[in-house]
Chains A and B, each alone.
Chain A
């Protein structure tokens, strides 16, 4: 079955530390890839997305993600986190040919200490 794995369920960082959240998926074909973020008390919203082209995509608030096809990975990065980045981050995959179905990972809760 298709699945999305996020390696860390909880991450605690100090402000200005670098962030990398891992995401791997199990699907052999072409995929559309997403990172969604949920800030405390808010709804899920899109952080960034990849469809094709440059495998390094940039999103809002200084986040970026790199698609490595050979590793079935789409890791999220930020060079220097801020307290306001405290949130839950979800990786999601839409297999091409799968219609509108999107499969989510279980999420990573990030806490940034001020």
Chain B
């Protein structure tokens, strides 16, 4: 089955120690997103790629970076995690093609829960 895969599912890191979360997709979608979700809050968009075109949200801290080396993979790098960065990180994709009717539906991975000690 076509899907969005996130690794690892659980990540523990130390305060200030860089961490990388990965996302891969077999849907061949053009658009990939990273969301941060804290308990009882809405998923908050950090950034997204349309192909290699990177779109950063204005309020995404500089501490968060992303890489998309190819269509299938996207990485979230947190350069110096703070206690406030502990959250669930969701990766999602959408096709970006076919206009509004089909291009904007998002397909989510299971998420990576990040703990910062």
Interface residues of A (CB under 8 A from B): 4, 9, 32, 34, 36, 42-46, 49, 51-52, 90, 94, 96, 99-107
Whether the Cβ atoms of B106 and A46 lie closer than 8 Å is yes
Interface of chain A, main secondary structure: loop
Total contacts A-B at CB 8 Å: 63
CB interface residues, B 26-43, toward A, < 8 Å: 31, 33, 35, 40-43
Chain B contributes a number of interface residues (CB within 8 A of A) equal to 29
In this assembly, does B55 line the interface, its C-beta being within 8 Å of a C-beta of chain A? yes
Residues of B within 8 A of A (CB): 4, 31, 33, 35, 40-45, 48, 50, 55, 57, 90, 92, 94, 96, 100-101, 103-111
Alpha-carbon distance between A107 and B111 when the two chains are bound, in angstroms: 16
Q: Which one of A32, A43, A52 has the greatest number of beta carbons of chain B within 10 Å? A: A43
